[in-house]
Homo-oligomer: A and B are copies of this chain.
Amino acid sequence: MITSGKGAIPLYMQIREFLIAKISKGDWLPGDPIPSEMNLSQELGVSQGTVRKAVTELVEYNVLRRKQGRGTFVSNHDSQRALFHFFHIVDDKEQKVMPDSKVLRCHRKHASRSETLKLQLEDRADIIRIERVRTLSSSPTMIETIILPGHLFKDWDELDSSNLPNMLYELYEKQYGITIHSAEERLRAVAASKHDASHLNLEPGTPLLEIERVALTLNKSPVELRISRCNTRKHHYENTIL
């Protein structure tokens, strides 16, 4: 499994991929501890420092989390982490506010052309479409459309669609074993439609910030397409470039 020798792939990279595979397969679940560095190094026939280097990279990618004296754990992406990591809207005092949300519609349909492209689905694939309004600082601020591939969320219809949690990523992980790891966002300025305007309590044509997000798993396969239109009168999108 782990091979060494001249011109080979470095051991720590092989071990890193081995660890990723274990997590992707579900052998180690979010929140679980992985074997200690000593155990892994003995089982894999390498030194502890080599295992350590592999683990360090996955800690940097937020796949694993070290706790001194306790062990190394598969990250669980709870609502706090989702808010911290994936939610970039803050109020004008730079404070992150936990959004409230109310579902407007939730139904199954066939994917549109652009949805199939962005979620890498087959033509007219079955999808779930959720529309909701999110309230920040007690005023309706965002209107969101969420598209999920039907085959990944088979028993979705059994959920109470009028009572979904604010932070869906936690639900994806706990109920469907799907962990969102990264995302690509595209931002534009658009004019509010009549529909947007009525739900956000403003005039049609008002400029809104549109955030189109494709959320990906650890293996980079797309799991969710989300289009958020946000009133940026009292809030804005924050991005730090390091």
Contacts and interface: CB of A to CB of B under 8 A. Distances in A.
Contacts of A230: 189
B237 A184 contact: no
Contacts of A206: 191
Interface string A189-217: 11100000000000001111110000000
Most buried by B among A62, A86, A236: A236
Interface residues of A, number: 31
Contacts of A186: 236-238
A240 B207 contact: no
Contact of A241 (B86, B190, B238, B241): B86
A106 interface: no
A183 interface: yes
A145 interface: no
Most chain B C-beta atoms within 10 Å of own C-beta, residue among A86, A183, A188, A232: A188
B242 A182 contact: yes
Interface in A129-177: none
Nearest to A235: B188
A191 to B, nearest CB: 5
